[in-house]
Amino acid sequence: MNSNQRWRDRCATFRPAAEPIDPRRFGVELLDGDREPRAFVERHHYSGSFPAARVRVGLFRARAWVTPELVGVAVFGVPQSEAVLPKWTGYGNDGAVELSRFVLLDDVEGNGETWFLARAFRLLRAARPELRAVLAFSDPVARRAADGRLVTPGHVGTIYQAFNGRHVGRANPATKYQAPNGRDVVKRTLDKVATGERGWRYSRDALLGAGAPAQLQGEEDAAYVARVRGAFLRYRHPGNLAYVWPLAAGVALPREGRAYPKADALVRAA
């Protein structure tokens, strides 16, 4: 573990893991509302999206004579499926959260991740004392856009391992569709367009923004989605790697820890 991943404008870089930050220059605070963390995450995180958040924490760096700069965000949120938290932590939404986004800018020193994460967990415990566990996933699949640009290099959860997360297994494999911009397209997005249910216009715009072909005049919605699927890269995702932390002494977790996955667990979508 000799380097830690960083982001700026959705582009990945790496810092030496042993590079120390100066704690006197940094502060960690709860963020009020979604506006500030959403703008930061959507600009810098490789996903370009903001999750359903319950607790938001910011890493700030002091600047002479001006307002401290937001240089990192941790978002503790709610998974898309209610079954996720009980499966991995043994607790539902009232007792656990997912570390849905964790992103630091590329000029934050190497050990800033663990330093920030420890203090984010401390604020989470204080803000939500009823919570018993935190779940996080790492995506080991590297993805490139149609132009060859690396969108995400894939990761095995190096920072989670450094922060003593319990590796508890891998999510189920799934067939996914990758758009020309290198992002995965959620099946739910395709289904909304195909069936014309509420939110289908937003979903269609999202497809177009990802590089999907335009819908032809008179083309049925279901036929259009079938054509979009054919234009996207279809691949088999092996499943994200899952990590869990108890938030208090004596918290029982349902799954035993496994050996940490190494770099050879990384794969490519194509």
Tell whether 132 and 205 lie within a shared domain. no
Q: Give the span between the Cα atoms of 50 and 33, in whole angstroms.
A: 12
* Bigger pLDDT: 106 vs 228: 228
How does pLDDT run across 128-184, given as a tens digit for each residue? 999 999 999 999 998 888 888 888 888 899 889 999 999 999 999 988 899 898 888
Q: Do 210 and 123 share a structural domain?
A: no
Residues 202 and 82 in one domain: no
Q: The domain containing residue 143 runs over which residues?
A: 3-173+238-259
Same domain for 249 and 215, yes or no, is: no
In a domain, 20, yes or no: yes
**Is 270 contained in some domain?**
no
Return the number of other C-beta atoms located less than 10 Å from residue 205's C-beta. 12
Q: Residue 61: its pLDDT value, please?
A: 93
Q: What percent of the chain has pLDDT over 70?
A: 94
Segment 96-124 mean pLDDT: 92
> What is the total count of domains within the chain?
2
* Band of residue 108 on the pLDDT scale cut at 50, 70, 90: confident
pLDDT in tens, 16-27: 667 788 899 999
Please indicate, yes or no, whether residues 133 and 181 belong to a single structural domain of this protein: no
At 1 the pLDDT is 46
Whether residue 74 is contained in a domain is answered as: yes
Residue linked to tokens 């958040």:
53
Phi-psi map region of 221: left, alpha, beta (phi>0 left; psi -120 to 50 alpha): alpha
